Chain A
Amino acid sequence: MSGYPPEMQESIRKVEVTRARRIKETFPAMSMEERETILEAFHPDYKEETFQTIRVGVSKGQRMPIELAGIVEGRPHISPGFSLSAPAASTDVLVIGGGGAGASAALLAQENGAQVILVTKLRFGDANTMMAQGGIQAADRPEDNPAIHYLDVIGGGHFTNVPELVEALVMDAPFAIKWLEDLGVMFDKEPDGMMVEAHGGGTSRKRMHSARDYSGAEIMRTLRDEVRNREEDISVIEFAPAVELVLDDKGQIAGAVVMNLETGAHRYIKAKAVVLATGGCGRLHFQGFPTTNHHGATADGVVLAYRAGAPLGYLESMQYHPTGAAFPEQIVGLLVTEKVRGLGAQPVNKNGEQFVYPLEPRDVEAAALIRECAPPIIPPASGGECQRMGGRGNGVITPTGQPGVWLDSPMIERIHGPGTIQKALPAMVRQFGRFEIDITEEPMLVYPTLHYQNGGVQLQADCSTDIPGLLIAGEVSGGVHGHNRLMGNSLLEITVFGRRAGRSAAAYAQQCQRIGKPTLAHVEAWNRECQQMGVDTGVVSPILLPDYTRRV
């Protein structure tokens, strides 16, 4: 049922010719030195001219993508004079964000005695958690243990991760799996109860638990269902993004101002503790990259926390998933799960040849794909000296000019037997089948896509921040993954740190004697600092939604 145009089919035939030989070959993995070299030459994080340092706030001088800096330095939605005298609601714990981390936090806060309000920008569950396909890591097999997981995480992150956060991640991991299973998550298992576990990029043991290739969706819908079962203690308000945090006169958290996304009305929700779990920023499309992220991934939490005085970290590092769809045009940028490579599919170039070990850490793998497609010499953009190495020009170019390499999915059935793909990758079969591409018979064309915010708001292992009562969980945080996250550690992160944040929030709310006078003095101070520094990006932030309407 080939949905590929004839010239692409021609290249596919070369892939088919080499397939039998390649199945028996393993392309060698890179040394640490080779990794460094290719990252510097081809990874988007190293394109200096696309970065900027921020000029205001507690982390001023920190480097981040230009698009993100413009939003972080943005103007507030509300004026410092916004009235906080009559809160629309009052609660122990306010959770901002309705993805996996927010849902986990709400559940644990409730279990620990708190009344909870969860506000979320779009629908409850419209989140990157829902889109995670491949799986969730946890060292629970006898061949594996949390210390080995620790090494994989910190090596994948270029040894820059915060040790206490990695410890929390790997030591809580098996408990997170147990918790999810007790809630009813259907993990893939052998008939004897043994978890089906696979490798991911940068893992030294098979520890990727999955639920077909709907791993994140299965976790998200289960968490959401459970939150809905506890409606007496957890109120969920959809289409209600937070636009500013509120502090009290002692500098501790006092809630947030939320906006009704449909009417534009602003309301103050008073809370003793706040869990910020707003996710990432893929919809900012750094360097023009497409993204795997959901519609609302616009860095809201980074903006809110930063304006209230919480330091940021690691935001100079973004994750580009090596395999986003590059064809057909309608799905460019959407995720092709790493599980495809975990099951044995190799990336191959237009000549049907391997060029990279299939399971390098994501940043290295992405850089290798970019090198394979880049033209042999990159002409300097502005007549200056050519800084970066030339590529190999071995990519396939689609009719719309999008480059990509083949991900040879038909190999999977040669290795594991017929029917494996339908069973292990139903979402991928469906995604490509809609465009007349049968991935059991034909390879997929892939190219790196903006996937994950490695950095964010700095936190302690109990999810606390520099602002008393403000807890952080999930992609909005920075430090767990250092400068590069491994596959399967984000579903783990949202569960582990969501749970920790929920527990911490409930404990904080319990010991919080009373909230002082709520104030937006920090907004006033922010405005003043921006004015003094001459900073005005013209952007009102958080931006809340990407703008895809056509300009006529």
Chain B
Amino acid sequence: MATDKRILGGLMETENQPEVADADLIPVYVMGKRYMVPSSLTIMKAMEWAGYTLIRGVGCRGGFCGACGTAYRILGDPKLYFGLACQTVVQPGMYLAQIPFFPAQRASYDITQLEPTATTLFSTYPEVLRCLGCGACTKACPQDIDVRMYMAAGMKGDIATMADLSFDCIMCGLCAVRCPAEEAQYNIAILARRLYGRYLAPRSEHLRERLEEIEAGKFDAEIEKLKRFDKEELMAQYKARDIEPK
């Protein structure tokens, strides 16, 4: 039926699929196989343009989830590069391999039973102390995080610094792929962040007070009244709200 084509057609027209002349196509190699793709596309869209239906190696498509970590070289250049397939534009001669999954070590723990100390870090992940400080992780990070630096903080047991420096981590795992000391830096870093968030961050008094007020039923009557209002009464109340200044 007509709707079928319309639905699927709508889908494919929106994400990419530019009209391109042959002259605008460049060669890229997906796991060794050559494809001609438009030069304006990201690696992810280029693979789809070439005909791949992605299941592994695709997630948020916006640079936040870490599903599409990719290693690549440019033919003739010995250097190894790393990027997110959804955020990196193709280049001629790009020779690429996606690394959507890596068998990294992850400890299991009960966050409520831990103390935010160096001992906790070292006993949960003893390999922290094996870090060589080589910086291969930093070079591999598509978020430009100085992984070596936060690992150095970890070796000193400085949980707050490790949490802060690692904050923008999307847990793609490219650091772990490159680590000669077999660290899973991103898993160690989330332990540091959770220890910081739960134990080291300053407590919010106003939040504690509000919880007590709600439990004491302070707002129940007001909410009940609002729930019973009809649209006109609600609109009047809504229009009469005072807006807190910026």
Contact = CB atoms under 8 A, between A and B. Distances in A.
Could you say which interface size class chain A belongs to? 35 or more
Nearest to A205: B244
Contact of A284 (B11, B111, B209): B11
Contacts of B196: 184, 186
A262 B10 CA distance: 25
A330 B63 CA distance: 12
A146 B30 CA distance: 53
Nearest to B14: A285
Interface of A: 32, 66-67, 70-71, 122-123, 125-128, 130-131, 139-143, 145-148, 150-152, 154-155, 159, 163-164, 167, 170-171, 174-175, 177-178, 181-187, 189-195, 199, 204-206, 211-212, 214, 216-218, 221-222, 225-226, 228-229, 231, 239, 261-262, 283-285, 288-292, 294-295, 329-331, 334-335, 344, 400, 426-427, 430-431, 434, 536-539, 545-552
Interface string B1-32: 10110111011111111100000000000000
Nearest to A330: B42
A330 B89 contact: yes
A122 B67 CA distance: 9
A427 B234 contact: no
Count chain A CB atoms within 10 A of each CB in B15, B106, B198, B222 and give the residue with the most: B15
Contacts of A143: 244
B207 A70 contact: no
Interface in B181-204: 190, 193-198, 201-204
B206 A189 contact: no
Nearest to A132: B64
B145 to A, nearest CB: 10
B205 interface: yes
B113 to A, nearest CB: 11
A429 to B, nearest CB: 10
B65 A294 contact: yes
Given A145-B219, A430-B143, A174 B210 contact: yes
20 contacts: A123-B65, A130-B59, A151-B237, A154-B234, A155-B241, A164-B227, A174-B210, A174-B214, A204-B242, A212-B168, A229-B109, A261-B55, A284-B10, A294-B61, A335-B62, A426-B168, A427-B63, A430-B144, A549-B12, A551-B12
A226 B219 CA distance: 32
A160 B98 CA distance: 46
Interface residues of B, number: 87
B148 interface: no
B62 A547 contact: no
A334 B237 CA distance: 36
Contacts of A71: 7
Given A123-B65, A151-B237, A211-B167, 20 more contacts: A70-B6, A122-B59, A123-B59, A123-B67, A151-B234, A155-B234, A159-B231, A163-B226, A181-B197, A181-B207, A184-B194, A184-B197, A186-B163, A214-B167, A222-B190, A284-B7, A289-B14, A295-B61, A547-B8, A550-B51
A226 B41 CA distance: 37
Count chain B CB atoms within 10 A of each CB in A261, A262, A426, A547 and give the residue with the most: A547
Given A143-B244, A294-B61, A550-B49, A178 B67 contact: no
B64 A427 contact: yes
Contact of B223 (A142, A167, A550): A167
Nearest to A544: B55
Interface string B41-69: 11001001111111110111111110100
B55 A545 contact: yes
